[in-house]
Amino acid sequence: LFEGPVKMITDESVTGILQPETSFEGKITFSGTFKIGGYFKGEVISGGTLIIDEGARVEANINVGEVVLKGQL
């Protein structure tokens, strides 16, 4: 049973996407919500929400307000 706050995230609320079948190495900064669906290696900095989608692979230093983990970190 989960008793914490629930935040609904829709595709319309995502402000940036790294698509599946895409790879990127470097630094990502964003505001709002950013979704990683492919491979990312590097650093992620934001006060917003980072979504690591199913099938995604992330090797990174992450400093964000919130993480939604569906993939591999």
Please tell me the predicted confidence (pLDDT) of residue 52: 94
Please tell me the predicted confidence (pLDDT) of residue 4: 61
Asked if pLDDT for residue 14 goes beyond 80, the answer is yes
22: its two tokens: 């895409």
Please tell me the predicted confidence (pLDDT) of residue 65: 94
pLDDT tens readout for residues 21-59: 999 999 999 999 999 999 999 999 999 999 999 999 999
Assign 5 a pLDDT band (cuts: 50, 70, 90).
low
Q: How far apart are CA 21 and CA 32, in angstroms?
A: 23
Cα atoms in the Cβ-side hemisphere of radius 13 Å centred on 16: 14
Asked if pLDDT for residue 3 goes beyond 90, the answer is no
Cα–Cα–Cα angle for 44, 15, 9, rounded to 5 degrees: 95
Q: For residue 15, give the amino acid letter.
A: T
